[in-house]
Amino acid sequence: MMDFKYILLMRHELLLVLVAVIILIFDFLTDREKKNRLIPFSIYLFAGAMLVSFFPVKPGVLFGGSFQGNALTDFFKDILNLALLIVFMQSEGYLRKEENREKIAEYFVLLILTLVGMDYMVSSGDFLTFYVGLETASIPLAGLVAYDKFKSRSAEGGVKLILLSALSSGVLLFGLSLVYGATGSIYFSDIAKHITASPLIILGFIFFLSGMGFKISLVPFHLWTADVYEGAPMSITAYLSVVSKGAAVFILTIILYKVFKNITGLWETALYALAILTMTVGNLFAIRQNNIKRFLAFSSIAQAGFILVGIMGTGSLGMTSIVYFILIYVFTNLGAFGVASAIFNASGVETISGYNGLYKTNPRLSLIMMLSLFSLAGIPPVAGFFGKFFMFTSAGSKGYFILILIGVLNATISLYYYLMVVKAMFINKNDHPVPYFRSPNFLRFSLLLCSIALVFIGFAGGIFEYIMSVSHVLF
Amino acid sequence: MDFLNLFVIVPVLTMIGILFTKELKGARLVSAVGMGIQLVLAIFLVFYYLSVRGAGNLHEMILTTDYSWFPSLNIHYFIGVDGIAVAMIALTAIVIFAGVFASWEMEYLSREFFISLILLSTGVFGFFISLDLFTMFLFYELAVIPMYLLIGIWGSGPKEASAMKLTLMLMAGSALLLVGILGIYYHSAPNGGPYTFNILAISKIHIPLAAQRFFFPLTFVGFGILGALFPLHTWSPSGHASAPTAVSMLHAGVLMKLGAYGCFRVAIFLMPQAATQMAWIFIILTSISVVYGAFGAIMQKDLKFINAYSSVSHVGLILFALLMMNKIAMDGAILQMISHGLMTALFFALIGMIYGRTHTRDIREMGGLMKVIPFLGVMYMIAGFASLGLPGFSGFVAEMTIFVGAFKHSDLFHRVASVVVVSSIVITAVYILRVVGKLLLGPVQKEAHLHLKGASWYEKLSTTSLLIAIVGIGVLPLWLSDTILNSLQPIMEKLVAYLH
């Protein structure tokens, strides 16, 4: 039953490919006028695939260690699936627009294929699988960013993403080749044994980290982020800032902990500096934004800085706090983006000043936005508080108290700009606020899901404990 | 015993109840009932506590409940109370009860207002019952954030700016606090074993001095910001002046005490060695707070600003007393927390009620109000006398105890500081008497002020409930004082070891 094991371990990836193929066939069979049917069909199909992949399977290794499946990677892939499902649900209103009718299937298929790439990346056990997964995830994204055919900004974003992504991949690959040259292997477990603080490996590591810095948009590798986020359709921006970034952070953490274990002191120094830069610059730039997408773009840069603080911790606590943070971040950021895209689709407003007086006309959306923003800022009782607290706890386990201090002060700065949005919605007066509207049902459901998760995740201590128990696998 | 949980559950249920109401009438009724129940619970808790102690239960904390929340980090939801916490809970229950009645006519977005107000009180109640640093920190932040909306939406004057300033400064305080808490956590197991956030467990161990020196100032300043520690008090006057009545009451009355309570329960109790070594810095700062706040109050013309500066001065006195590190002064500090909480809540309630009638808070535009609105006038005068520290009111008992404690120190530094702080009594007399004279006595300044509406039943209920407590403590201080003294025992035992 050798083959069956392959299918089971790679069930996430294979199911996604299956879903993509079915959507393509369905698209082929659907009349041009009825293409809108693809939307619910794809969402239900994807949700079904997601439920099937929930079933637990015994951990295992495939292809001589290139592909690793264990409870932690499974859990993380489930998070990514869930995030993509929410993104799909939030794109309904956008896809129903006349101009998008002919390319609905592409939207779903491309997004699913990027997720396949990320899943392989998450499960990778060697640098080759890792790299192939990373590229599979990046290239369709450029197409998605440029999805708005009639907007020059969208095309500009697409070009920027593909060029910079190619450049960063080059840098990353160069770093990996140096590491390969020094250690003679591409397998994580083999490399880990031969890592020393030799100049070649350090150089390789720096290139590797810079490449990953582009993908996660760490300062100073963040310059593409705001333009791409602004140009892309709202739900693609959401996807970039949550799923794409989350997956890259996850695999970066694994590689740092497993592969570069012997030079921990070195990468901790590098991350220390990057974390401070990323938090501070992200925050300071976010203050000045008025476009909600650019605003969330810089806020997500700052959040990446907080994640780096968490990586500094010891093994399983660091891993757990990061996975936990990303889980919460999915609901938090998608909640904020969901509200933003609901408003954009209904009224075309995408500036923060346009949100003035929103509570008067759309109280529920304003409340969900406020919950999400408070969660981003780390205010209890919303889930973001727990995520951030454990992030800092993780850094504390190695005694980085100065870094924590800088981190929490940055969190206070971030509260300022999150409160500015709250102020716009609840306090500022507006003679012509965005009129009341009713969002499509899928979107409403996704927002309900996000807000319930935001309120309850923190109080369910079991979730954190579960992640803790599965991340012990690694160490 | 899960009895203490009710102090969090009742407000949460009240908030949910308000969601089902339609408008002001329903919302205020549900809030009043909910907070009424809370008040009854608090009174019951006081008597229960006294009877348990009377029966010879000498545990440090009673009514403890412990749930494991995040076992792998040893984070617990651990609650329990001692005499000090019981007193603070009673204070909070009275003030929030009075606050609901002081906002009886809150027309604008009334449901949201009452929900935010009660959310704020949930944080405060939760904070006082917590014995786990994580839970305590969570409730602390929970109490801070509704302030932004409460001041920003329902406030007056430059409300957006004041709300933002207040929120950011307090959150910066909680940022320092977070570092302090994590520092304590990671030094809570000097002999190996799991780290802990449990305050009782940490108080039994000795945190290394080097760590104490680093984390004590962070924790003390973190809580101190909420206690308006000079020079980080600037959020307080503008915040209190812009806040709606009930919020000023709750904030000056209870939230600032959260800061002082935290300084006491976390900073000094868990890191006594650094506390004794570094006290001098903070004694200087608090002495400045006391005198500066009092002088500030003299210079102000807006009633709310006067009271806000006076709060800076009085809460400074609490922190000062805590830093005196002896039993009598600390006893006085806790008494002052309660006394000032009640008094300042009464002041802010009255100011709100007067403002609602005269539409001005500038004392130069008012006068002779005693003849027009005698009930509120008399109340204001009584509150003023209590604030002056006249015998028969709670203020006298508290301040007297503090100064007696302060003069126990015979060295020059403490003497000078004590003398400086005592001089604030005179300054306090100046501003209180000046306001009372301008506002209540003399001729009526404006034509329109001749026909003001008398106090309504809910205003009388609100102010009377506070007054009863003030007089109660003033006349019968001993039972409260004894309760506090008992609960001070553990902390004193820790401090004595390091004092000389």
Nearest to B160 among A411, A423, A461 (CB): A423
Query: Could you tell me the pLDDT band of residue B451, with boundaries at 50, 70 and 90?
Result: confident
B490 vs A337, more confident: A337
Size of interface A-B (CB pairs under 8 A): 81
CB contacts of A374 in chain B (<8 Å) are 145
- Please judge whether B160 and A404 are an interchain contact, meaning their C-beta atoms are less than 8 angstroms apart: no
pLDDT at A82: 94
Nearest to B179 among A374, A405, A416 (CB): A405
B180 residue type, one letter: G
pLDDT at B283: 92
Rounded to 10°, the helix B272-299/B412-422 angle is 30
CB atoms within 10 A of CB A31: 7
| pLDDT one-digit tens code per residue, B184-211 | 999 988 887 789 999 888 888 888 889 9
pLDDT at B500: 56
- Please judge whether A379 and B178 are an interchain contact, meaning their C-beta atoms are less than 8 angstroms apart: no
- Please judge whether A419 and B164 are an interchain contact, meaning their C-beta atoms are less than 8 angstroms apart: yes
- Please judge whether A426 and B142 are an interchain contact, meaning their C-beta atoms are less than 8 angstroms apart: no
Q: Is any Cβ of chain A less than 8 angstroms from the Cβ of B145? A: yes
**Lowest mean pLDDT, pick from A365-379, A402-416, B5-19, B435-449:** B435-449
**Lowest mean pLDDT, pick from A284-298, B168-182, B367-381:** B367-381
pLDDT at B49: 86
In angstroms, rounded to a whole number, what is the distance separating the alpha carbons of residues A45 and A21? 11
pLDDT at B325: 86
Prediction ipTM score:
0.91
Q: b/e for B273-299, b at 16 or more Cβ within 10 A?
A: bbbbebbeebbbbbbbbbbbbbebbee
Q: Is any Cβ of chain A less than 8 angstroms from the Cβ of B167? A: yes
CA distance, residue B31 to nearest chain A CA (Å): 21
Per-residue pLDDT of chain A (475 residues; tens, 9 = 90+): 456 777 888 888 999 999 999 999 999 898 888 888 889 999 999 999 999 888 888 888 888 888 888 889 999 999 999 999 999 999 988 888 888 888 889 999 999 999 999 999 999 989 999 999 999 998 899 889 998 888 888 889 999 999 999 999 999 999 999 999 999 899 998 898 888 889 999 999 999 999 999 989 998 888 888 889 988 999 999 999 999 999 999 999 999 998 898 888 889 999 999 999 999 999 999 998 889 988 998 999 999 999 999 998 877 889 999 999 999 999 999 999 999 999 998 888 889 998 998 888 898 999 999 999 999 998 888 999 999 999 999 999 888 999 999 999 999 999 999 999 999 998 888 888 888 888 888 999 999 999 999 999 888 888 999 998 888 877 6
Q: b/e for A155-164, b at 16 or more Cβ within 10 A?
A: bbbbebbbeb
CB atoms within 10 A of CB B47: 10
Sign of the CA dihedral running A199, A200, A201, A207: positive
A366 residue type, one letter: S
pTM: 0.93
- Please judge whether B179 and A393 are an interchain contact, meaning their C-beta atoms are less than 8 angstroms apart: no
Tokens of B254: 């209870």
pLDDT at B47: 86
Contacts of A188 (CB under 8 A, 6+ apart): A65, A124, A125, A126, A127, A255, A258, A259
Q: Is any Cβ of chain A less than 8 angstroms from the Cβ of B189? A: no
- Please judge whether B164 and A374 are an interchain contact, meaning their C-beta atoms are less than 8 angstroms apart: no
Sign of the CA dihedral running A329, B171, B132, B41: negative
| pLDDT one-digit tens code per residue, B238-254 | 888 888 888 888 888 89
CB contacts of B152 in chain A (<8 Å) are 423, 426-427
Whether residue A131 contacts residue A172, with contact meaning beta carbons closer than 8 Å, is answered with: yes
Q: Residue B392 pLDDT > 80, yes or no?
A: no
pLDDT at A416: 92
Length of chain B: 500
Per-domain residue ranges of chain A: 2-474
- Please judge whether B175 and A405 are an interchain contact, meaning their C-beta atoms are less than 8 angstroms apart: yes
- Please judge whether A379 and B164 are an interchain contact, meaning their C-beta atoms are less than 8 angstroms apart: no
CB contacts of B70 in chain A (<8 Å) are 461, 464-465
- Please judge whether B160 and A427 are an interchain contact, meaning their C-beta atoms are less than 8 angstroms apart: yes
pLDDT at A65: 81
pLDDT at B326: 85
Q: Residue B476 pLDDT > 90, yes or no?
A: no
CB contacts of B142 in chain A (<8 Å) are 380-381
Query: Could you tell me the pLDDT band of residue B112, with boundaries at 50, 70 and 90?
Result: confident
Contacts of B291 (CB under 8 A, 6+ apart): B313, B420, B421, B423, B424, B427
CA distance, residue B88 to nearest chain A CA (Å): 22
CB contacts of A419 in chain B (<8 Å) are 148, 164, 167
CA distance, residue A408 to nearest chain B CA (Å): 5
pLDDT at B140: 92
Give the residues across from A126 on adjacent strands.
A187
Q: b/e for B169-195, b at 16 or more Cβ within 10 A?
A: bbbbbbbbbbbbbbbbbbbbeeeeeeb
Write the burial class of residue B210 (CB in 10 Å: 0-12 exposed, 13-18 middle, 19+ buried): exposed
In angstroms, rounded to a whole number, what is the distance separating the alpha carbons of residues B174 and B137? 8
Nearest to B153 among A404, A408, A426 (CB): A426
Sign of the CA dihedral running A208, A209, A212, A213: negative
Length of chain A: 475
Nearest to B171 among A397, A412, A468 (CB): A412
pLDDT at B1: 53
Query: Could you tell me the pLDDT band of residue B499, with boundaries at 50, 70 and 90?
Result: low
User: CA neighbours within 13 Å on the CB side: how many for B399?
Assistant: 25
Tokens of A199: 């100049």
Closest residue in chain A to residue B72, using alpha carbons only: A465
- Please judge whether A401 and B160 are an interchain contact, meaning their C-beta atoms are less than 8 angstroms apart: no
